[in-house]
Structure 1
Amino acid sequence: MSQDTEILALYTAHRSALVEYASGITGNRAHAEDLVQEAWVRMDRAARKEPPKEPLRYLYRIVRNLAFDGRRSLARERQVISGEDVAGAAARGASPDPSPEAVALYKAEFERLVAAMDELPERTRIALEMHRIGGCKLREIAAFLDISLPMAHVLVAQGVEHCKRRLGWS
């Protein structure tokens, strides 16, 4: 069976579940149908370049991302339509508290990220944490670890690449 046929069979077999999943996020079945179709197009396009290691999981991720993007877009449209001024919306910004749905969706991914970071050599992990979590500049990392600025950059880049590989993002 060819890769295209396998992916089409996967999509066909799980289409209803994907629509239900997207409906739960968007609250709109018609919109969920459109999202699943768009996810299929994106999956097919990506699979032609490089077949995903876990196609079903990848397809669910595409659906989830599209659904959340759609929800955010709809919320922005409603604010504009309701007459709320743009400056007021920008001043409020995003909510610092994640929704229960977001917590549930990202909990497993966060645990995998923590495990990936634990695999890093100590200096690389410290550099990555200081840069990505602590917001430190590379020169601050270099000073703290007593290394050169280019070496600080290398450590952060290596840490990011390791985590991306372990999470299947690259």
Structure 2
Amino acid sequence: MTWDLQKLFIRHAREIDRFLRRRGHNAETAADITQDTFLRVLASPPGEARTNHNPKAYLYQVSRSLSINHLRRESLIQTTDLDEAGAIADPTPSAEKIIYSRQCLAQTRKALAELPERTRMAFEMHRLCDKTIQEVADELGVSTSRAWKLIRNGYRHLLTRVDDF
């Protein structure tokens, strides 16, 4: 006699999840352990001596064992809540980062000044003023394909001139 794991999952997964939550697991951990329970039974079903065994009881026994193992592992590992870690991290950039950013900004200004006027205007309207290619084309009095070429040329020029663009 073999167990139909799909039917067992449909019948008992929700109950096992609730059982694990009552044991103190959060929703994500309970769902993971529930899934692991059925994977464990799928990977190594009970032996021939247990064919008449109660499948529901066996599933609960496996989930209880996995729950205990999880709690033991959690007690050995020291964790930090990510919400708390954000408060610990210093949001101010380092002096090196500030200097590097300023150098990149200076390179960007210089590279923009090197562009032909129409290319620079098209690039700035598109990138800095959030205008669409059609709006840039209308404002410059060119076709959309020409406006795109001007913007693309601006991007290419900046990519070759600025370290971190």
Taking structure 2 as the reference length, what is the TM-score of the superposition?
0.42
Larger CA Rg, structure 1 vs 2: 2
Q: Counting helix residues as a fraction of each chain, which structure ranks higher?
A: 1
Taking structure 1 as the reference length, what is the TM-score of the superposition?
0.40
